[in-house]
Amino acid sequence: MIKISVIIPTYNRLSSLKKCLLSVLENNYPDFEIIIVDDFSQDGTREYLEKIKNKNEKIKIILNEKNLGASRTRNVGIEKSQGVWLAFIDDDCRAEKNWLSALAEKFENEKIGFVIGNTIYFEENYRGNFPERLVGNDEARWPGSGNIAYRKYALDEIGGFDEENFFYANEDTELALRAVSFGWKCERSLEAKVYHEKCFWKINSLLRSAHNISCWPLLKKKYPQNFQEFKIDLWLGVIWEPKEYFYLLFFPILVPILSGRYFLQGKRDWKVFFAKWPCVLILKRIYLWREAWKQKTLII
């Protein structure tokens, strides 16, 4: 039986981490280890991990001596792993019992470098309301680091998560595109399910998210043959998410409709609402245009 290393990076999410860890321990795959890398948490996570250290032979604990960020923290887990396949899950997700088995089934072809799992927000068929942040990946469309597995040999060849690309909050996309550019194939497993817990936008996190879009001029320049591998919404190869231009164009009509729906949902944080409508939409375009100019790449 081929060994799998499950890598869980964590930072200040003790309650979520406990649920995540329990779900992984209950997996029915016969041979796996769990590597928890704490990125210098200050909420009691480190004390909890010290208590459970050496109590289960499957669990390996690594404590960063300072906050290194998610990319470096995952790379620390990769360096300490012993598995042939490396499965990644975020600390705010729960895995189904057959999660690892479902991922492992897709590695039968030696050309498969990574397998994307199916991430479901909260529960099946659940539809949240803004300001919920719907962090899901139904149908395993996107190579998100919260539910994905890599062949360790592939990572040895191409390298781990790009720690500089963490600036764009899309280091998982960059790694997958790099793997494809090296000739590795991707598979998807709809049966490899994890469930992401509820989460909500705050003004700061919402405004920070606007910067994420600026990764695409860089990725287009870096991987010109592969950057559309995961079916991004890029009209004519140039216009990123054209529906957002529609939102901006018809903003005076849409905002009263959206605000009415927001009010009927019982929400009252209008600062968060207007941070998205229209602040984030405008910021995203500014960041995108600025990066496109910097990279001398046409994306608008």
* pLDDT tens-digit readout, 203-258: 999 999 998 999 999 999 999 999 999 988 888 888 989 999 998 999 889 888 88
Q: What is the pTM of this model?
A: 0.95
Kindly state whether residues 147 and 48 are assigned to the same domain.
yes
Kindly state whether residues 181 and 269 are assigned to the same domain.
no
| CATH code (residue 42) | 3.90.550.10
Per-residue pLDDT, 166: 58
Kindly state whether residues 191 and 251 are assigned to the same domain.
no
- Split into its structural domains, the chain has a count of 2
User: Residue 62 domain-assigned?
Assistant: yes
Kindly state whether residues 186 and 226 are assigned to the same domain.
no
- Which residues constitute the domain of residue 230? 220-295
Q: Helix, strand, or coil here: 49?
A: helix
State the sign of the Cα–Cα–Cα–Cα dihedral 253, 257, 263, 265: negative
**Of 150, 166, 200, which residue sits at a domain end?**
200
Kindly state whether residues 31 and 176 are assigned to the same domain.
yes
State the sign of the Cα–Cα–Cα–Cα dihedral 292, 297, 299, 300: positive
Kindly state whether residues 123 and 157 are assigned to the same domain.
yes
User: Residue 75 domain-assigned?
Assistant: yes
State the sign of the Cα–Cα–Cα–Cα dihedral 140, 144, 145, 149: positive
Please compute the mean of the pLDDT values over residues 86-110 and round it to a whole number: 97
Rama region for 236: left / alpha / beta (φ>0; ψ in -120 to 50; rest): left
User: Residue 207 domain-assigned?
Assistant: no
Tokens of 190: 């709809």
Tokens of 188: 């998807």
The answer on pLDDT for 115 being more than 70 is yes
Q: Helix, strand, or coil here: 239?
A: strand
Question: What amino acid is encoded at 37 in this protein?
Answer: V
pLDDT digits (tens, 9 = 90+) for 32-65: 999 999 999 999 999 999 999 888 999 999 999 9
Residues 117, 147 contacting (CB under 8 angstroms): yes
The answer on pLDDT for 167 being more than 70 is no
User: Residue 235 domain-assigned?
Assistant: yes
Kindly state whether residues 231 and 173 are assigned to the same domain.
no
Kindly state whether residues 192 and 227 are assigned to the same domain.
no
